[in-house]
Structure 1
Amino acid sequence: MKIAVLIARVLLGLVFVVFGLNFFFQFLHMAQPPMSDKAQAFSGGLFGSGYFFQYMKVIEITSGLFLIINRYTALFVLLLLPISLNIFLFHAILAPAGLPIGLAVIVLEVFLLFAYRKYYASIFTATPTV
């Protein structure tokens, strides 16, 4: 199990670091797959905000680096959950051409959430005490 967690953690970290850095430096020249009108409208709205993608990519790069170096891993896996879920849902619903990468990201994310589940137990305390 330790080896599987190590592989999943490093793979997920690399995905977010590489694609996060690619947003800023564009060193991977990839052709954009065809997107539906709804997918273009969604992406256009996020880009049009002027800050959202930059903010998200900084979180991705930071989280990915912490996953790779194995520090505060449970926190950063949890921080990447909404991003991973949105990547998956965007490709599953709006742009199916990218579904394989979306599926890989969500599978790695869920696996790591399961692997680090003991660190999340206190979050689900119904009535916390001070």
Structure 2
Amino acid sequence: MKKIILNILSVLFGLLLLNGGFAKFFHYMPEPKDLPPALMADNAAFMEIAWLMPLVAVAEILGGILIIIPKTRALGAVVIFPVMVGVALTHATVAPSGLPMVFVIWAILLWIIFENRKKYLPMIS
């Protein structure tokens, strides 16, 4: 049962990442009207660095695909980890209203990492 729940959450997490990545390329999601000014300033600063958002988008798309596939889930967690650190820091510093969702997403990511912990041992030994 635990494995089924993890698989379902991993697919949902992967789809969330795919949506975020593709939205950065194709701009099909409207920007919310009630964004905090500090977050809008951060987003504008990120857009000044021409290669940054495409890089994050590729990481989200690649990480999302890898997390959806059970065999590559551990690699997907490694790919998406730096992006998730940025998401957590952004919400902690300029948009705390999104923190509950960040906690849920981080719980899924940490569960994926915990369940695949044996696969990471060669990286640290």
TM-score tier, shorter chain, comes to 0.7 to 0.9
Q: Are residues 14 and 120 of structure 1, via their aligned partners in 2, closer, same or farther at CA, if it must alter by over 3 Å?
A: same
Higher mean displacement: 4-13 or 28-37: 28-37
Unmatched segments (≥5 aa) in structure 2:
none
TM-score norm. by structure 1 comes to 0.83
- Which runs of no fewer than 5 residues in structure 1 stay unpaired? 126-130
2:106 maps to which residue? 106
Range moving further from structure 2, 75-84 or 64-73:
64-73
* Amino acid aligned to 1:34: L
Structure number with bigger Rg: 1
Q: Which structure: greater helix fraction?
A: 2
Task: Report the residue type matching 1:24 in the other structure.
Answer: F
2:32 matches 1:15: no
Match of 2:89 in 1: 89
2-structure distance, mates of 1:115, 1:48: 38
Q: Are the counterparts in 2 of residues 84 and 106 from structure 1 also a CA contact under 8 Å?
A: yes
- How many residues align structurally? 124
Task: Render the CA deviation track for 1:11-61: whole Å, top value 9, x for unaligned.
Answer: 210110011112222333351432243x33432222111110111101111
Aligned residues with identical type, % of pairs: 26
Q: TM-score, normalized by length of structure 2?
A: 0.86
Query: How large is the Cα RMSD of the aligned pairs?
Result: 1.8
